[in-house]
Structure 1
Amino acid sequence: MAARRGALIVLEGVDRSGKSTQAKGLVQYIKERLGLEAELLRYPDRTTATGKVINEYLSSTANLDDNAIHLLFAANRWEAKPEVAEKLQRGINLVVDRYSFSGVAYSAAKGLSLEWCKHCEDGLIRPDVVIQLEIEAEVAAKRGEFGKERYEKLAFQKSVADTFKAFQSLPYWKVVDATLPMEKVEEGVQSLAAAAIKRAEEGEPLLQLW
């Protein structure tokens, strides 16, 4: 009998939508409540060779061509693909704070072609579920520490939110209202994640983007 694989669970949303908090809490939920293995991943991974360049860019200490920075973000995910696939096949559930969808949405918000941006992600592992924490950019901008990084500008975040709407027709894309009380947001995220884990355990195959 083949080993059960883990699920790839992605959290997306505009900056300060609560993704990081929910991602950390979801890993704890999977481990403690479901009794399964789980790990947290964040993109960009700022510890890798590409990640260090990206970190300088996001901290506004380096300037790069928009096409080049998109390719760097995509490469940051590509260099992790073998390890991601290996962990999923070992039965580890991976909770991911941002993935290809953020990469596409943020670059498209800068005026790059949506299709070109998506093409750079062709062949990466498709998530079992993407959970978008939906919140108006104006509301997110009022949350603490907004504006610390390059992309945290209100008009830009509104463009990102508009691009996320283009993904909402994907069958694996789910939306949770991030303005609800914290416990309600958690319940929504946990329910969607548990359903994705169940499908993975029942043998639903891993697919590729798009």
Structure 2
Amino acid sequence: MKYEVMLGRTFRTVGSVVFGQCHFSTNTAMLMSRGALIVLEGCDRTGKTTQCRKIVQGLNDSGMKAKMRTFPDRSTPIGCLIDAYLKKECEMEDHAVHLLFTANRWELMPGMKKDLEAGVTLVVDRYSFSGVAFSGAKSMLDLEWCFQPEQGVIRPDVVLYFDVSLHEAAKRGEYGSERYEVRSFQEKVAANYAWLRTEDWQVIDGSKSVDEVYKNVMSVVKSVISKAKSRPIRYLELPKECSIKMQTNLINGNSKHHDSKDD
């Protein structure tokens, strides 16, 4: 453990923070070596999973450490419950389902943080924003309530939002095999994504060929990885833009935050 003596007192080094006149130095080696958290979001059948695999393979082939994560992670005890629900094998109350999705992310946070600190870039197929967008599309749940339990998970370094028309997505293989793959529901999900989107998001045209999309995505990914090396891990908070939208909608008496065409 590293200590510094300043102003006649001894302080343990815990981070890059200045409290009054007392400076706590940073473990720069850890910060310089961390991996990036890259999240792919979008409605169902927009090509996220295919691109996640290609990104990880491309990074590994170029000598960079990268892993793919998918949410929900159906391999955990919580994930098994979610899997049964999504396959329509059981029914659950909507609030309970949302909290299961959130708990599934929280149970994997320690391992994700360990990977990032070891310099491994994580490419994630769906994350907190999917949880909020999909749960918020249900009539009994509002977006603010949905976002609350997501606060504190690791914040992505970038969110790549795959934009594909719902008509196009419905033509893709196996569409409709799971609970949420219904056109009217997906319209509400898309509206919620638009509400959640901030300037940190990058919109990707997912209607192009797989190779064209991959080329566009990788140019963003490499830049994000380079920048993330010198930044500390951050944690998710309700974006200011969304907070302002919430306040506006509450004043207008619209707690669901959907466009009128989706209500």
Greater radius of gyration (CA): 2
Aligned length: 207
Structure 1 stretches lacking a partner, 5+ long: none
Report the residue type matching 2:97 in the other structure: I
Deviation of 1:188 after TM superposition, in Å, equals: 1.5
Q: Does 1:206 align with 2:233?
A: yes
TM superposition outliers: structure 1 runs of 4+ over 4 Å: none
For 1:23 and 1:182, the matched residues in 2 are separated by 11
Deviation of 1:196 after TM superposition, in Å, equals: 1.0
Q: Please give the TM-score of this superposition, normalised by the length of structure 2.
A: 0.77
Q: Does 1:85 align with 2:113?
A: yes
Q: Does 1:11 align with 2:40?
A: yes
2:225 corresponds in structure 1 to 197
Q: Does 1:24 align with 2:53?
A: yes
Note if contact 1:167-1:173 (Cα within 8 Å) is conserved in structure 2. no
Deviation of 1:136 after TM superposition, in Å, equals: 1.3
1:152 corresponds in structure 2 to 181
Kindly indicate whether structure 1 or structure 2 has the higher relative contact order, using CA contacts under 8 Å at least 6 residues apart.
1
Q: Secondary structure at the match of 1:109?
A: coil
Q: Does 1:121 align with 2:150?
A: yes
For 1:158 and 1:188, the matched residues in 2 are separated by 26
Computed over aligned residues only, the root mean square deviation of the Cα atoms, in angstroms, reads: 1.0
Report the residue type matching 2:36 in the other structure: A
For 2:92 and 2:236, the matched residues in 1 are separated by 26
Q: Secondary structure at the match of 2:150?
A: coil
Per-residue CA deviation, residues 54-86 of structure 1 (Å, 9 max, x unaligned), is: 000000011000000000000000000011001
Deviation of 1:172 after TM superposition, in Å, equals: 2.1
Q: Please give the TM-score of this superposition, normalised by the length of structure 1.
A: 0.96
Structure 2 stretches lacking a partner, 5+ long: 1-27, 238-263
Per-residue CA deviation, residues 132-179 of structure 1 (Å, 9 max, x unaligned), is: 1101112101111100000111111111111111122x2321100111
Report the residue type matching 1:204 in the other structure: R
